[in-house]
Structures are given as structure tokens and as C-alpha cells.
Structure 1
């Protein structure tokens, strides 16, 4: 009996030590948020408010990108976004959490915060994506307000464009074809991501890019890491770019190396890549991050306990 008691006490001690180590491991996770482009700096501030108080990564990325969606000066996202060729502002967004739950909206008009509609699609429906009038109807039934998203500045730019009606994406011109993609790791060690955009300026009415497509514009795997994309979505979709980056990290590549390989894949397969920009941003489970792009000029913002919301240049192939 004494031997049994001794063994029992030993097992209890070992179990307590294991649980203690697990708890310590959770405590040691340092939250971090990263996002694309300079407007990611303001977005990161809102996300960090949540992460720094041990909030969830999912809540952080939604709150973060909503800042860009509501900013009329950011004319490639949400309110103030440049319209399509018909003068209509149409928005795309998606969100994904640590459990592979995801939601998306595409070709959505009149709703300032498509990212929040995408989250409701994830949480309240059996679907992943709603589009067009169906997405708008769903948003209105869930309390969102219909409003005019075409600002005077965006309308003026559109009317100027109409004089020649020439369509030619401009590399690294954020007003033309760039999103905000945001990735976060919270104190519990969980990852989430969000991506939202008004798409290419002067696009054909009905065009949808990579941003709302899970696996293309955004992908999260809580065992490995997360990635998002920016730039010309047609190139990203053809390679399922963000999913590719995550799978490359699964194989042991660093976030930057994974982004580099994904960019090189596009350059091998996409004719005319010299005239476009595509960039990938990645964050792994350890909190390591990296980016890579085709052309020089892509930048991203980082906010963590060690880095106070700084802007970094992504390495480029050209």
C-alpha cells in the first residue's frame, strides 16, 4: 500500500508539472499583429488594443481592418474606395479563425463594414460566402445600415478616369488595387486573419478578386501559421497563393521564404508579371513573420510587445 501511495503521489506530481508547463507555455505566448501597407499602422492600433488585453485574435483582426474600411482616405478599402467602371463601389472581404471557421462576402454594395458581414456569415449561416444582393439582404436583416459609399473624392477621380477610360493597374499605387490583409496571434497562441478591399479601381462591374476567397487572399491553419495576399488578385487566385504559403511553412520554410517561393510560382506561371504587383505576408505559430513581393515598394506594419507598430519593406524579386 505504501508503494502504491508513493506511485500515485509520483504520478500526481508529474501530471501537475506537465499541466504547469502547459500553463507556462500559454502565458509565454507573445501576441503580435501584422498587416499590409501603410494604412495597416492605424489598423494595427485597434487590433493591439484587444491583443494587449489578452483578447482573441479573431476580435482583433475584425476591429483592426474596420479602421481602414471606415477611413475615406483609404481609397482601396471600404468607404471611399474607388468605384468600378460604372461608378459603383463594390466590396469584398473574408475572415478566418483558429478553428478553420471562415466567412466571406463579395460584390457587396452599400455596407461600410463588409468584414463584419463576413464574420456573421461565418457565425450565423451554414455557408462560407454570400455575394451581391444576397449578401446585402443578409446584412440589412442583421442590422447593418445601407449607405452611399462613393465619396466626393472617389467620384471625382472616377469622372476624371472616364475622360480616357483607360484601364491599366499601377504598381504599388494603393488607391488602385490594394487591400488590407491582417494576421494576428493572441496570448493563447491562436491565429486569425482578415482581408477586405474595394478591389481594383475601374474594374468591370461584377469583378471579384482574391481578397474574399479563402485560400487565395487569406488562409489560416492554427497548427502552422497564416498568410494573406495583396496586389493583382487574378494572379493570386491562379496559384491559391495564401494556402500555398501556409503549406510551404508546414514543410518547414520560414514565413519570408514561403512568401518568396509563392511569388516565384506566380512569376513562372503568370504572363506579364513584370507589369503587376503581388505581395504575400505571413505569420507562423511561433510569432515569426515575413513578406515577399514581385516589385519593390510593398510594405507592411508590425505591432508586438517588442515592435511598436513599425513599417517594414517587403523583399522583392525585381
Structure 2
């Protein structure tokens, strides 16, 4: 019910980058979603997987579809079990924290197509430096093309409304990821758990679907910090929940051991919370266990980012110099 969702540039936090996630996922039986913009080579991460270990691929679609086709078909040959096509990043949001950081790592040219390092603009932060290849014209009419080049299940990542989830179902896709891209794209966009409630309601009413559903799966990521976050999503109809930042923090501080410990904490919490809920199996984790009535009540004030404030030096403000007059 828990997977490692795609997070880019792992080596900015630890020399082994996403390999920490691959190893920990194998130990704990958790699915790893390999990001297009991983700092480790794709084949390196697949080679590091244990026999039978399940890996997904998150895809940013290249303007040059030949590059995308080659990458997707190579992933399928290597045994990737699901293709998660990101649809909420036709342009990256203004990530001011990211823009303040220095970035000197190499561009992952095998998927971006930027084989000449001089093409990469590093003045706007790491994310923008390596994302200029993303096709902003990606549209629903491209879905048949993806269906023609691979037999992998296709999932749209970054869906924010029930209408898009319904269209994805009608087009024969395997599912959607309800996500606001970690809150870094459009300010005040709704959380995945909030969208989940209306997607389940509308697809039940309009297509007679019940969730969780093997034919059309609903994934949620963003804001997952504890096992009770996972259980809330499962109770409301999610197939699985993606965890991102907690694992980034864990391996940036402690490498593989950090992710290993984080997953053990989640496992222990999951077992404890199910006992406290009185649920012996996941089938007994039902919507009635979650009060979702306040999901539509939004807090107007923007919360402070204590993690950022405690780790980075604040911007200095201009000060007026006091001038003493001579009498």
C-alpha cells in the first residue's frame, strides 16, 4: 500500500542517490518509482534491484518523441511494471528555494536529449536546469501513441480533478496519481487526498466503479508522513500511497540505513494503527473510519516552512545606516 514515489536528483543529498531507495525497497518489499531525472543511470537502478523486485518508471515526455519512445521501450524490456506519465508539469512552477541553490551536477542526457552541457541554463536552479526538454504540448490525443509503443500499464501522474480521472478511465488507462506535485507547481492547488474523495464519488456515480479497483487504480502522493496518512487514503479508496520527502530526508542524512529505519517506522506504525482501528486486514479499513467532512474547509493563511528556515540562511534585508549629525 506504500511506494517510493519519484523524486529527482538524489545525489544532491547523498553520493549513492536513488540506489539507497532501491536497496531499502528490496528489503521491505516496497515498490520503487524510478524518476526520469534520477541522478543515477536508469540501468544502474534496475541492475541493483533484487529478483522479483517491482519497479515503476515516472516519465517526463520529451519534445523529441523518438527519445521518449526509445526510453519507454527500453524500460519495458528491462522489466518495468508500470509507466507513470507526468501531466502536471508543462512548465515548472517558480521554485524560489530551488533557484537559490547552486547546481553543478551533470544533465541526465540519456532522457533529456541535452548532450551538450552548454545548453543547460544553471542560473534558475536545479529543476529548471534539467527540465527544458519537457513537452508542454502533451495532450489527451497523445494517449493512443503511448498505447501503441508499449504494453506496460499507463498511469497519468498529477491529476487534480475527477473529470480528468473519468477521461483517463474512458481511454482505457490503468489509473491516475492524484497529486499536486509536492505543492511546488501551482500555489493553493488541492491535495491528493482531497481530490481522492470526489474522484471516488464521481466514478462510482457515473461508471459504477467501487474502490479500490483492480481495473482502474487510484494512487495518491504528497504530504504522506505517517502510516495513518496511508490508512486514510486506503480507507477512502486509494490503491496505494506514494512517499517522497521523508525518504529523501532519511537518505540525505543517513544513506541506506536512514531509509531502512524510516520504512521500519512506517511498518510499525501501520501495524499499531490497524490494531487501534480494529482492522485485521486492509479490507476492513473502510471509509467510515475517516471523517472527510472538513476537507473542503481550507485555511487561508499560508503556513510557514520551518524545515527550510532552520536549514538555510535567511535573506538579508537592506538596512539604513544611521548618520550622526555634527553640531
**TM-score using structure 1 length:** 0.31
Higher relative contact order (CA 8 A, sep 6+): 1
